[in-house]
Amino acid sequence: MGGRSTTGKSSRGGPSKRKVGMGQVGKGKARARTGSGRESAYTVGLDIGGTKILGALLDPEGDVVSTVRRSTVHGADGLIAGATQAVRDVAASGGVEISRLAGVGLGIPGIVDHRSGTVKHAVNLGVHDDELALADLLSAELGGVPVVVENDLNVAAVGAAHVLERSAEQDGVEQDGGARDHEDLAFLALGTGLASGLVLDGQLRRGASGAAGEIGHIPVDPLGPECPCGQRGCLERFASGKALEAAWPSRHGKPSPVELFDAARAGDEEAIVVKDRFASATAAAVRLLVLTTDVRHVVLGGGVAQLGTELLDAVQDALREQAKVSPFLGSLKLAERVRLAPTDVPVAAVGAAVLGRRS
């Protein structure tokens, strides 16, 4: 899949408590029953990356009541042990016994089969060709709590939709269809690669083969650079963290995107050209998503999106510039649809917890 930032602290970290509103998808099924027949509505979500595990506990109202951060241990055994402890830690931090959990959701990179709860080719986690029955193994460690496994970008899209929607509710924002408009979005991950997760009309869209949102491998320049996928001129060769590293290698020990934007801000003409070219390519990705799915929002996430408002402004400016030559594009108000991923909650972990309600 496309780039998710996997940088993080190497120390274990610890649980914390917080109260953040959540959205509507999955809310109708919030009250599930445990195997013992007791009603429960607490769910845990984990976002498992190459260096860290982020966890979130949701209460019956869909609010985040506690979070946790742990280091990832690679390999099947380490992965199961780390996920088990993360669930126990975040539940304990929220004062909830494991037996009261209605479900657990996991977001993880690699090739995920959400039906069987298996994952393979998650190479940055030490999981290679053999399928790992992650859902069944973790459920057994948790005393039978149902577990669902989903692709990391998909849970990020679900989490972003709910956090944004709930924020709109709390702010009293009403649009054409009300606050639930936020449940129609694409989460565009600008990391090592480029890909998106899709929530359309409140439903996660995976596609027939799980490839929905893989826009990074749409060729946009037949004479462009070769792509590892075997094609030439793919979009992610122009709009991704790896593309930025190739165009503006780090020279002072900071991430390439940071150094590029610093140099452009300082007036470096070459940096300005590279920055504008990257913003235009990212704008093309936004335009592609809107023209194919007509999502109300495109949320910028992943490592490059940590640039914050400078990136957002650059992409919106590029979209406005591109719309000048086309009344049709202008009518779509593309720039107004773009926003940054929320940073005050672990969005992917929240999305995993929401999907855990459906287990």
pLDDT tens per residue across span 122-133: 888 989 878 999
My answer on whether 141 and 192 are in the same domain is no
My answer on whether 190 and 329 are in the same domain is yes
CATH code at 96? Answer: 3.30.420.40
Most confident of 10-24, 161-175, 225-239: 225-239
Domain count for the chain, please give it: 2
My answer on whether 215 and 99 are in the same domain is no
Residues 6+ apart with CB under 8 A from 321: none
Q: Is residue 280 part of a domain?
A: yes
| Short-list 291, 292, 288, 279, CA closest to 320 | 279
Q: Is residue 281 part of a domain?
A: yes
Task: List the domain range (segments joined by +) for residue 76.
Answer: 16-156+346-356
Q: Is residue 10 part of a domain?
A: no
pLDDT at residue 15 in the model: 59
Per-residue tokens: 272: 């300005």
My answer on whether 62 and 123 are in the same domain is yes
- Chain center to CA of 68: 17
Q: Is residue 7 part of a domain?
A: no
My answer on whether 220 and 328 are in the same domain is yes
Counting residues of the chain whose pLDDT is more than 70, the rounded percentage is 84
My answer on whether 193 and 125 are in the same domain is no
- Asked whether the predicted pLDDT for residue 303 surpasses 80, the reply is yes
Please name the residue that has the structure tokens 């991704």. 240
Q: Is residue 324 part of a domain?
A: yes
Q: Is residue 5 part of a domain?
A: no
- Chain center to CA of 230: 26
My answer on whether 150 and 200 are in the same domain is no
Residue of 173 and 220 predicted with greater confidence: 220
Residue of 284 and 41 predicted with greater confidence: 284
My answer on whether 201 and 260 are in the same domain is yes
My answer on whether 145 and 206 are in the same domain is no
pLDDT at residue 182 in the model: 64
- Asked whether the predicted pLDDT for residue 106 surpasses 50, the reply is yes
- pLDDT tens for residues 318-349? 999 999 999 999 999 999 999 999 888 899 99
Instruction: Round the average pLDDT of the chain to a whole number and report it.
Output: 87
My answer on whether 109 and 199 are in the same domain is no
My answer on whether 64 and 203 are in the same domain is no
pLDDT-based confidence at residue 40 (cuts at 50, 70, 90) = low
53-81 as b/e, with b when 16 or more CB fall inside 10 Å? Answer: bbbbbbbeebebbbbbbbebbbebeebbe
pLDDT at residue 36 in the model: 42
Q: Is residue 57 part of a domain?
A: yes
- Asked whether the predicted pLDDT for residue 3 surpasses 50, the reply is no
pLDDT at residue 357 in the model: 87
| Short-list 30, 103, 90, 94, CA closest to 356 | 103
The answer to whether 152 touches 3, Cβ cutoff 8 Å, is no
Q: Is residue 169 part of a domain?
A: no
Cβ-based neighbour number of residue 200 at 10 Å: 18
| Short-list 285, 356, 286, 331, CA closest to 58 | 356
My answer on whether 350 and 315 are in the same domain is no
